[in-house]
Structure 1
Amino acid sequence: MKKLSLNGKWYLKNSTEQNEIEAEVPGCVHTDLINADKIDDPFYRNNEEKLMWIGESNWDYSRKFKLDQEFLESEKIMLNAQGLDTLAEIYINQQKIAETNNMYRNWEFEIKQYLKEGENTIRVHFNSPLPYLKEKDKEFHIPAWSVGDHRLHGGGWLRKQPSNFGWDWGPMLVTMGIWKDIELIALEKARIEELKVEQQHLESGSVELALDLQTEKVAAEDLNIEVKFSLADKNVYKNKFEIKGEKAKIEFEVEEPELWWPNGMGEQPLYELEISIFDSGGQRLDSIRKKIGLRELELITEDDQWGQSFKFRANGRDFFAKGANWIPADAFVSRVKRKDYRELLESAAAANMNMLRVWGGGLYESDDFYEICDELGLTVWQDFIFACGTYPSFDDDFMENVKIEAEENVKRIRHHASLALWCGNNEIEQGIAADEWDSEKITMPWDDYKKLFDDLLPEVVADHDPQTDYWPGSPHSPEGDRNDFNNPDWGDAHLWDVWHGKKPFEWYRSCEHRFNSEFGFQSFPEPKTVYGYTEEEDRNITSYVMEHHQRSGIGNSTIMHYMLDWFRLPVGFDNVLWTSQILQGLGIKYAVENWRRNMPRGMGTLYWQLNDNWPVASWSSLDYHGRWKALHYMAKRFYAPLLISGIENLDDSTVEIHVTSDKFEDLQGQVNWQLRDVSGQLILENSFAAEIKAAGNQHLRTLELQDYVEEYGARNLMFWLELEIDGEIAADNFVSFARPKHMQLQEPNIKTEVKRLEAGKYWLKLKADKTALWTWLELEESDLKLSDNFFHLYPGREVEIIAEIDQDLRAEEFQTKLTVRSLIDTY
């Protein structure tokens, strides 16, 4: 088998014009226009509004390629396009060979008859999806949420990234282009078409592997197969044998396997599986390599004392899912590279996350994404790409298109150790599924819903990935009334009563849901990010540009509503941005700490959302540039394997002390607590031994502090908690009886010591004379990668941090450029 890549330099033109520009494949029209200096940065200010014409136009990609006689003599020649976005017509040497209508499919066409020796041409014509969708909607109206200039009713007719048309965190930039690899394949005798890997974990501890291999033959010759299975260059299994037909089943046992574990539970060893096929003369025809993690990973839904569980189990051990929801990492997904995935996913793992939900309004992600998740132990909840809208499951052509899409992506992703769940859709059961179509409301009849999400998709998973569980939608109630989608007794829940319902952060403490797969609160990006898309005149959160970079209709007013509930009105634009981040982190902390305390009733929290696809005010904890917001630093603490937390009761001035452990062994520890006044002066302290039970939460004791509240006043008290294990502080936390805005903080006089450890790496120690809440660090002109940030200081407490930057400075120069601030600096 020979391959000729068609990636690289192409030419692009508007179909109504003659002038061409150079283009890069994989890519898209927008990025090619940017690279050719034909349009300004779509993310800057409100440039997006000036670029709607791109998605409304038709476009042509073209290039030439040369073929020799040897290539043309192959038995079969295919054009393989792994991703075309979306309504494409393909021409080779001016002859139309195919049309495509699905962004998520791998398109392959036999083209030998169209080719010639020497120079050939290929042209891919892309039709704008907008006229197509308007016509389809006239045929049969299927409504959608949040309709705007480009987010249309009828969008469900087209298998294209839903968020591409705009979302409440993303721009309306309708893309077209060859967004994945494209190549010619010349097939002489045979190739590997499909590999399915299943594993059976035996009571003995061994693992049986069953490999189902499907080949495609274009010659009658028998094949030889070689199988290698190794770990860290150590051979585990190797065999070579002959097959007569096109299929082979290979089975072998791995003794004393090294098991793959989610992040925080163990290591992530990945075995190397290589399968090659040879002709009778020993010539290698094709080979396939996959990395395999040996593990059992399953969703457990079983009756219990509260109703029915919703929890994940790895290698026989139940674990609390800690993570976030993943959206496409760029509005132009073709320019997301492996290094970009690694930066974002390493940040997730560093914050003690063990699960990401790939949300159903985006993509089946790239192989790079899943490979890195395998390496980091980030389990993946994978939605099929259906979200917040209605779909024409009554249409046979649509259903056949979806079936092929689902089969291809299940087959591509199924071998990954990180894959934990297939989920049918996002939020269609949340008020969209109904008894009948209703042109006045956004509805999809249950009968049509079930055809797609209860029949077709689970059948695809059962046929092609039977070892991974399927869940019809998120949220979903598996018992009782299916319209009761957030029932606290079973299923998963999307809890938006705070952001959309204006309930206080404390409301989260009333929630006892089994698994919280969406909830969130917004913040602005940090000043460095905002300055990148604004001019000085824009730097007020009510300016047109700032509101343009806020896609939730209630966004900025909701942030300020809660900010004034909790904090003093910040002085200046930058301080509003920073305070919004502290506010966001505080809200999600309320939620996560409560649900972790509810173990084992509640067994998962995936906040909305991990990342951004452009620089914007949003629910993310990592901004578009991968910069950690305050929430992400707080997540590192509230998702830590050991959590100490307090619940204040304002009515009787008590504090409940809880310790939550994800460890799988009991631990001996000590709880240290201190009651201090606002300035940091010690009033009372104590310690007590604590036996910390494995994999659960304990309410250790309740402290009665009424006398001190009466004497000092609620606004003048702070209660500090530490969990000590083997002489080291494993976790700490903070409780107050009043909101920060009513505390009379004093200038903390923070002192910072800096030592250079090596090039670009520094050790910092910070301490303060007075209490400093949410202390954060910035470095002039450089991004700081910090082991901790947005932490608290009080007299006697020292915090040590490791800081990394992309340049090398002397310690003195680093300290000169360093800014350290805390909440009082926002006043």
Structure 2
Amino acid sequence: MKQLRLDGRWVVRQVGTARTWPARVPGDVLADLLRAKAIPDPFYRENENELHWIGQSDWVYERSFQVPAALLREDRVLLQCDGLDTFAAVSLNGRPVAQTDNMHRRYEWEVKKFLHPGRNRIRVVFASVNDYTRRRFLKDRIYSSVTGTLAGTHPSFVRKMACNFGWDWGPSLVSMGIWRGIRLVGFSTARLRDVRLLQTHTKNQVQLDVKLECETTAPAALRVRTTVLRRGHVVAEAAAACRRNRGRLTLIIRNPELWWPNGMGNQPLYEVRVELLTANGAVLDTQTKRIGLRTLRLDRHPDRWGESFQFVVNGVPFFAKGANWIPVDAVMGRRSPARYRALLQDAAAAHMNMLRVWGGGIFEDDCFYDYCDELGICVWQDFLFACMAYPSWDQAFLKNVEAEARDNVRRLRHHACLALWCGNNEMEQQAVGKVYRQFRTMTWPEYRRLFDQLLPRVVREEDGVVAYWPSSPHSPQGDRADYNNPKCGDAHLWDVWHGKKPFEWYRTCQHRFNSEFGFQSFPEPHTVFGYTLPADRNVTTAVMEHHQRSGIGNTTIMQYLLDWFRLPTSFEMTLWTSQILQGMAIKYAVEHWRRNMPRGMGTLYWQLNDVWPVASWSSLDYHGRWKALHYMARHFYAPVLLSGLEDANHKTVELHVTNDTARTVTGTIRWQLTDLTGKTVRAGTVPARARPRANTRITTLDLHREFDPRHRLLWIALTVNGKTVSRNLVHLARPKHLELARPRIRTAVRPVGNNQFEIRLRTDRPALWVWVGLQNCACRATDNFFHLQPRRTHTIRITPERELSVAAVRAGLTVGSLRDTY
């Protein structure tokens, strides 16, 4: 098999104009125009509003390329396109080849007759989707939670990334382009068409069944050889003849190294190499897949609370800890393996073991799933439907969706990280069986045609191992419209934020798996300064509201902020306090649900990342800077968590240890009740023994004699084998009612190499939510937004985003705490 890659340098121009700009493939027109400085930064101030013309225009991508004569001597020559966004007309040497209408599909066409040796030219014309979606909307007027850049444009009618039209956290920047790889492939005699790997686990061995399909250009005797390698060493090998263009082999891997999610064990990966051979042993085609040996299933069984919803790996149930994932960037041409790896490493660093790939985005790049395999991050994969009705009564639409689903199930099914296929996001909640005055939603039969019939059939036929779940949220028992049934299924809990319930409301929730919940914050000042002018820096200005896409956003942040904290004295302190508020909200929820295991067995907060710099629910902002929430997640998602549950009515605090490890944790809890100067009011130690993979209530502290909520803090720490494994703070009143004195925090800085600096901090009185930063440079810390107790040194490391001297770090170091915000 021969391959000629067509990625790299192209040119792009707007249809009807002569001027061209350099273009990169893979990429998109927005990235190309930005690189050429032909448009302003859409993320700065309100520039987005000046760029809608791009999505309303048609664009042409072109390039020349050399075709070697040897390629054309192959029996067949194919043009393969991994991603064309979206309405594309492809031609070679001025002759039409094909047209496409689905961003999420992989296309290939026979093109040998269009080519000649030497210089050839390819042209791809992209038509705007806006006119088409507007015409369809005027005809069908079906419900959509999103409108595009022009009135009446809706993503329901086109198989394109829905959030490209805008969302309540993202801009409306409709784009187009060759967004994934493109190549010519030539082959003779035969090629591998599909390779499927199935595992059967028994004691001390794994049986690997390899099923393949091949495509031939002429009758031939074919054989297939499969080799399994671990760290470059062959651990199993087999060969067999192909019959009727199909082959099947069985290999035994003895003493397998099992793959485990993050925090449960290692992530060993095996290479499976499948070769298609002629009768005399010549290699015609090769496919290589990297797999992890594991069983991973969704377990639903009747229990005393209803029906379980838990994931089980290698026979072991585990609590899913993680977040929801949205696309890396609103400008698709800015995606890169480095950005994927950085975001996923940060998720793993916060002890996450699962991410939900949300249905309004894309089936992610291969590197995303590769990195999840390596890091032990399980993937809940939505099919790409979200928050709107879809025309399932249209047979052409269904046929297109089926091809899209088959392409992507085949592409992703071998990954160790893949935990669940899910039909859609929130459609049962808002787009089925509802009555809206202006729009039609889907009827239940229309909905079932797509999500109860077509998609599960594709998963069954193309995968057959990973479970299918029709929607998120979904209740499999009782009334399907009761989508957040606490007895079964998964839930999206938005009573905090959209429903304006207090954070304490989370503690009333007994749901089985919480796949969405969240709270917003602003990005840090360094990020906000990047998209504003000084005059914009008030949360009520037009620019700040432009970078807030939730209709209730900034108002809701400020309402909750004043419920919990005193009014900040500056714009910057408002940004920081909002982050503390966000972290506190999610901490309330996660600690409660972890204490509630095994009744509840998962929390995936909304959301991990951002597509542009914006006020949102993310814990990592657009630049990958950790918000307070992400620092707090490293603690509340830790494998062993000590938490306190206060009861103001009874003047008690329950102490709980949640243990996700496979071993019993035995240690000592030290607790100290202090006043707001740090003076000890009462203290004690409690032996702690926490069962594996369970929550254990260790004791209940009776504090009725010393209970003075506005003047008391309870500091708790769990020590195991002489090492503190978890610390926490229980405040008995809302922080705005604590009469805190301003702490004097002393710091000592020393370089430790690789642009890292150790910071040692001490305080003379309690300092709550202490954060460390730099004046003129953002930085990453090993810990931040921590509580500093008098007479205890806390040591962290920071890494500036650019190279700095120790003198510059000392001069620019900033230390803040809650008391500094007002």
TM-score, normalised on structure 1? 0.97
| 2:346 match | 347
Code of the residue aligned with 1:516 in structure 2: it is N
- Contact 2:526–2:777 under 8 Å retained in 1: no
With 696-705 and 126-135 compared, the bigger mean Cα shift is at 696-705
Q: Give, in whole Å, the separation in 1 of the partners of 2:242 and 2:732.
A: 74
| 1:800 match | 795
Alpha-carbon deviations, 1:463-514, whole Å to 9, x = none?
1111100000000000000000001000000000010010000000000000
Pair 1:454–1:705, CA change in 2 (3 A): same
Pair 1:738–1:60, CA change in 2 (3 A): same
| 2:731 match | 736
Q: 1:609 aligns with which of 590, 607, 610?
A: 607
- Contact 1:722–1:732 under 8 Å retained in 2: yes
Equivalent positions of 1:569-584 (< 5 A) are 569-584=567-582
| 2:290 match | 291
Equivalent positions of 1:2-13 (< 5 A) are 2-13=2-13
Structure 1 residue 810: deviation in Å? Answer: 4.8
Structure 1 residue 102: deviation in Å? Answer: 0.3
Describe the SS at the equivalent of 1:434: coil
Q: Give, in whole Å, the separation in 2 of the partners of 1:44 and 1:805.
A: 24
Structure 1 residue 189: deviation in Å? Answer: 2.1
- Contact 2:780–2:801 under 8 Å retained in 1: no
Structure 1 residue 631: deviation in Å? Answer: 0.1
Equivalent positions of 1:280-319 (< 5 A) are 280-319=279-318
Unaligned runs of 5+ in 1: none
Alpha-carbon deviations, 1:191-219, whole Å to 9, x = none?
221111110111x2311110111222113
| 1:175 match | 175
Structure 1 residue 238: deviation in Å? Answer: 2.4
Code of the residue aligned with 2:526 in structure 1: it is K
Q: 1:815 aligns with which of 791, 810, 814?
A: 810
| 1:251 match | 250
Structure 1 residue 442: deviation in Å? Answer: 5.4
Describe the SS at the equivalent of 2:147: coil
Equivalent positions of 1:41-440 (< 5 A) are 41-147=41-147, 149-150=149-150, 152=152, 154-202=154-202, 204-434=203-433, 440=438
Structure 1 residue 351: deviation in Å? Answer: 0.2
Structure 1 residue 274: deviation in Å? Answer: 1.2
- Contact 1:143–1:153 under 8 Å retained in 2: no
Structure 1 residue 148: deviation in Å? Answer: 5.2
Pair 1:358–1:233, CA change in 2 (3 A): same
- Contact 2:271–2:291 under 8 Å retained in 1: yes
| 2:696 match | 698
Q: Give, in whole Å, the separation in 2 of the partners of 1:126 and 1:34.
A: 18
The alignment yields a C-alpha RMSD, in angstroms, of 1.5
Code of the residue aligned with 1:194 in structure 2: it is D
| 2:591 match | 593
Code of the residue aligned with 1:139 in structure 2: it is K
Pair 1:522–1:806, CA change in 2 (3 A): closer
Describe the SS at the equivalent of 1:678: coil
With 741-750 and 317-326 compared, the bigger mean Cα shift is at 741-750
| 2:754 match | 759
Q: Give, in whole Å, the separation in 1 of the partners of 2:287 and 2:90.
A: 28
Code of the residue aligned with 2:816 in structure 1: it is R
| 2:562 match | 564
Q: Give, in whole Å, the separation in 2 of the partners of 1:803 and 1:68.
A: 53
Code of the residue aligned with 1:763 in structure 2: it is E
Code of the residue aligned with 1:361 in structure 2: it is G
Q: 2:767 aligns with which of 754, 763, 772?
A: 772
Alpha-carbon deviations, 1:664-718, whole Å to 9, x = none?
1212111110000112111111001111111111222222212212xxx321110
Q: Give, in whole Å, the separation in 2 of the partners of 1:807 and 1:391.
A: 47
- Contact 1:27–1:335 under 8 Å retained in 2: yes
Alpha-carbon deviations, 1:532-553, whole Å to 9, x = none?
1111111111111110000000
Structure 1 residue 311: deviation in Å? Answer: 0.4
- Contact 1:389–1:442 under 8 Å retained in 2: no
Q: Give, in whole Å, the separation in 2 of the partners of 1:286 and 1:17.
A: 44
Q: Give, in whole Å, the separation in 2 of the partners of 1:477 and 1:571.
A: 46
- Contact 1:145–1:442 under 8 Å retained in 2: no
- Contact 1:759–1:807 under 8 Å retained in 2: no
Q: Give, in whole Å, the separation in 1 of the partners of 2:30 and 2:62.
A: 16
With 54-63 and 753-762 compared, the bigger mean Cα shift is at 753-762
Q: 2:495 aligns with which of 484, 494, 497?
A: 497
Code of the residue aligned with 2:563 in structure 1: it is D
**Is 2:778 the partner of 1:783?**
yes
Structure 1 residue 316: deviation in Å? Answer: 0.5
- Contact 1:143–1:439 under 8 Å retained in 2: no
Pair 1:94–1:439, CA change in 2 (3 A): farther
Q: Give, in whole Å, the separation in 2 of the partners of 1:241 and 1:452.
A: 39
- Contact 2:383–2:424 under 8 Å retained in 1: yes
| 2:466 match | 468
User: What is the percent sequence identity of the aligned residues?
Assistant: 50
| 1:647 match | 645
Pair 1:150–1:374, CA change in 2 (3 A): farther
Q: Give, in whole Å, the separation in 2 of the partners of 1:20 and 1:265.
A: 53
Code of the residue aligned with 1:7 in structure 2: it is D
With 379-388 and 792-801 compared, the bigger mean Cα shift is at 792-801
Alpha-carbon deviations, 1:401-451, whole Å to 9, x = none?
10110011000000000000000000000032117x866345211000000
Pair 1:150–1:257, CA change in 2 (3 A): farther
With 132-141 and 18-27 compared, the bigger mean Cα shift is at 132-141
Q: Give, in whole Å, the separation in 1 of the partners of 2:433 and 2:803.
A: 61
With 643-652 and 84-93 compared, the bigger mean Cα shift is at 643-652
With 810-819 and 761-770 compared, the bigger mean Cα shift is at 810-819
Pair 1:67–1:546, CA change in 2 (3 A): same
Describe the SS at the equivalent of 2:454: helix
Q: Give, in whole Å, the separation in 2 of the partners of 1:281 and 1:11.
A: 45
Pair 1:642–1:151, CA change in 2 (3 A): farther
Equivalent positions of 1:636-675 (< 5 A) are 636-675=634-673
Describe the SS at the equivalent of 1:262: coil
- Contact 1:150–1:165 under 8 Å retained in 2: no
**Is 2:712 the partner of 1:714?**
no
Alpha-carbon deviations, 1:122-143, whole Å to 9, x = none?
1111110000111122332322
Code of the residue aligned with 1:795 in structure 2: it is P
- Contact 1:499–1:520 under 8 Å retained in 2: yes
- Contact 1:144–1:152 under 8 Å retained in 2: no
Code of the residue aligned with 1:590 in structure 2: it is Y
Q: Give, in whole Å, the separation in 2 of the partners of 1:148 and 1:224.
A: 52
With 750-759 and 611-620 compared, the bigger mean Cα shift is at 750-759
- Contact 1:523–1:617 under 8 Å retained in 2: yes
Code of the residue aligned with 1:702 in structure 2: it is T
Code of the residue aligned with 2:817 in structure 1: it is S
Pair 1:6–1:722, CA change in 2 (3 A): same
- Contact 2:130–2:153 under 8 Å retained in 1: no
Aligned residues: 822
| 1:676 match | 674
Q: Give, in whole Å, the separation in 1 of the partners of 2:652 and 2:508.
A: 18
TM-score, normalised on structure 2? 0.98
| 2:527 match | 529
Describe the SS at the equivalent of 2:580: helix
